[in-house]
Amino acid sequence: MKAELLCKGKEPWGARRSGPEKAKRAMKTVLIIDDNHDYREVFREILEEHDVEVFESDCPDSAYELLHTIEPPDLIVCDVHMPFTMKENAGEFVESREVGIKAAQELAWVYPNTHVIALTATDPTEMATVKSELSPIPAYQKPVGYKELLELVHCFLACNDFGGLQ
């Protein structure tokens, strides 16, 4: 993943701090959009251990609704292969990678000051195609280990060069 190469010289955000130093630092926010509940739960636990506020959504439909009620997050992590909605009309929509790709692209366009990245369990032989379809939004292969996840999130929360469609 080499997220550390993208973050050279950036101040660490995840160090556990206490006292006045912790109070001065603004909490970073991440929105996770993934239909896998277990993945969202683990991701949330890891990030909250490092003082990141996490919002969750199980599909793009509910993510759009949530985004109308919160300030834009610092980072949106979007799964690629998922259904558009989990509501009673879910059967009307096809579950596909196009759903996640379209959602990530729309979110990057609507929120140009928010980093948007994609994580996917897509077959490794298809990753080049997925990355091409998502470009300029970065895509990373699941599963992502604990250390790699923290490096990746740190990279995007620490840098000011937004990867969205501008």
Better pLDDT: 143 or 34: 34
Region 34-51: mean pLDDT is 92
- Domain 27-158 falls in which CATH fold? Rossmann fold (3.40.50)
Q: What ranges do the domains of the chain cover?
A: 27-158
Q: Are 121 and 143 in contact (CB under 8 A)?
A: yes
Q: Please give the pLDDT value at position 6.
A: 41
Taking only the tens place, the pLDDT of each residue in 116-143 is 999 999 899 999 999 999 999 999 998 8
Q: Are 120 and 80 in contact (CB under 8 A)?
A: yes
Say whether pLDDT at 23 is over 50: no
